[in-house]
Structure 1
């Protein structure tokens, strides 16, 4: 497995990260998958207090019991469940973040979080107050580093200017190249690592029947999927080819892959040993579909 330093931090994270959102509720199965991931060299696990009303953090904590020192744990905060658990409200306040971290620590069964991320963000937020909360938690030793999970260029620019974030999680794939326009190079130049999610575009780049995606119609999606298929083989599956496209960007520290089964795990872990894309293959993929651009939050 290849490891990259996450931005300005000293965290060494595997280039393929385990997206825990897909985990089920069977603790034995989850423990097997997490332990197998560690065996394969995957050391970065991403969860959130939002997932399954916090139980996702519980499942990850149970799976890592006795192996905490082998893992880099990332979780997120900012979405507050309503009392009846029917939906959630956005709450980036300092008071809520300071309260929520203790609950995440308890559920994860750890006394520190390696990377604590704001799970969203808007220009209307009390950004300086939010940053102050993360800085306070870092000084207290409850978190090692902090970042944000956002696709909004205007929000990202504010956090670059005002904070000490080490990472930004954002969606990026052949079917979502919006970050190329204004985010990837900006983050790289500021030594902020990108955690890319959605690399197989909900499976559309890995064999799922074409359907509309973002501003692309089914025909355009099919064209992108065909381009992936045309350069797969040679020891690369469709999903591995799609993830290799993501990882060719130098700004990206890790591709976060949702994993629920052992087959998915083995395929994801196999990205590292699969053949890297050649410049010609990257160009063929880029030419297969016109990149889209952010039309809001610019």
Structure 2
């Protein structure tokens, strides 16, 4: 491992994660290729792997578990719960109940071939949920040693505030990029003040910041998306490429602990490693990027 690699604590926990996390949702069905990519990532300094019981109806967890089983102590495994597949496989329903979480964790542990999870996350959440019951389930699992830490995956400020008030979450996974700056309005500062880690997903805005043809994204027109992409591209040559610039914009925020990047190919893995191995963006470049478009704000769930 190279010295430039950066690792951070997850919230106030003793779970230590690489600044770039391997988002396993993108993995394909070729088990051999998945095994190769996951092991390559570890060899190159990525120690944090994020999956969910929802992905590929549990097959994603199986793939991750198989590849990481022999080196379990060296890696941080995160998975998610709350979306329950219907028996006929036609879709899933939201179920954040204590009973369901306690039942679902056993299946995730089995598929991941491990007896504990480093991070267990609620895969969504609304104000109508039995929030205290959900928290009870996570606290119980922690006492039992089945999980080291827990968090939520949510972009809703009103839900995030409730969990900050009522629970000991160590992380919130949320979408955050140069084209989705809604978290900057209140969530990032609030989470930083409470020493809760932000795990940023969607930093490349569906690839729009890394070379994909511009289209409407959230409240931005294709022309505005093109403008943001051009600003990122202009800084790419000296910063390890467009993807690196887009992700480093997100990582420079002190609330953000790690960027979760979907990795399916060796090229994408090398891009991720490049981000870990190159210095952060200078402040003036962060400022330049932040001035390209007016930041968007949450319209709902405030």
Query: What range describes the TM-score normalised by the shorter chain of this pair?
Result: over 0.9
| TM-score scaled by length of structure 2 | 0.98
Q: Is the 8 A contact 2:239 2:245 kept in 1?
A: no
Q: Which structure 2 residues correspond to residues 121-200 of structure 1 after superposition, within 5 A?
A: 121-200=125-204
SS in 1 for 2:17: strand
1:106 matched to 2:113 = no
Question: Structure 1, unaligned stretches of length 5 or more?
Answer: none
1:97 alignment partner in structure 2: 101
In the TM superposition, residue 83 of structure 1 has moved relative to its aligned partner by 1.2
- 2:221 corresponds, among 184, 200, 217, to 217
Work out the CA distance in 2 between the residues paired with 1:279 and 1:130. 40
After superposing on structure 2, the runs of 4+ consecutive aligned residues of structure 1 that deviate more than 6 Å are: none
In the TM superposition, residue 235 of structure 1 has moved relative to its aligned partner by 4.4
- 2:77 corresponds, among 60, 73, 76, to 73
**Aligned residue-pair number:** 298
2:297 alignment partner in structure 1: 293
Q: Is the 8 A contact 1:211 1:221 kept in 2?
A: yes
In the TM superposition, residue 108 of structure 1 has moved relative to its aligned partner by 0.2
Q: Is the 8 A contact 1:82 1:88 kept in 2?
A: yes
Residues 272-295 of structure 1: per-residue CA shift (max 9 Å, x gap): 222421111111111111100001
Work out the CA distance in 2 between the residues paired with 1:61 and 1:273. 27
1:23 alignment partner in structure 2: 27
| TM-score scaled by length of structure 1 | 0.99
Q: Is the 8 A contact 2:200 2:256 kept in 1?
A: yes
In the TM superposition, residue 236 of structure 1 has moved relative to its aligned partner by 1.6
Summarize the Cα distance change of 1:233–1:275 in structure 2 as closer, same or farther, 3 Å threshold.
farther
Work out the CA distance in 2 between the residues paired with 1:28 and 1:118. 30
Aligned alpha-carbon RMSD (Å): 0.7
Q: After alignment, is 124-133 or 267-276 more displaced?
A: 267-276
2:65 alignment partner in structure 1: 61
Work out the CA distance in 2 between the residues paired with 1:176 and 1:40. 29
Work out the CA distance in 2 between the residues paired with 1:63 and 1:157. 36
Residues 128-178 of structure 1: per-residue CA shift (max 9 Å, x gap): 000000011111111111000000000000000000000000000000000
1:6 alignment partner in structure 2: 10
1:204 alignment partner in structure 2: 208
Work out the CA distance in 2 between the residues paired with 1:280 and 1:227. 13
Q: Which structure 2 residues correspond to residues 220-259 of structure 1 after superposition, within 5 A?
A: 220-259=224-263
1:42 matched to 2:46 = yes
Question: Structure 2, unaligned stretches of length 5 or more?
Answer: none
- 1:117 corresponds, among 115, 118, 121, to 121
Q: Is the 8 A contact 2:247 2:259 kept in 1?
A: yes
Q: Is the 8 A contact 1:240 1:268 kept in 2?
A: yes
Work out the CA distance in 2 between the residues paired with 1:236 and 1:12. 25
Work out the CA distance in 1 between the residues paired with 2:180 and 2:245. 15
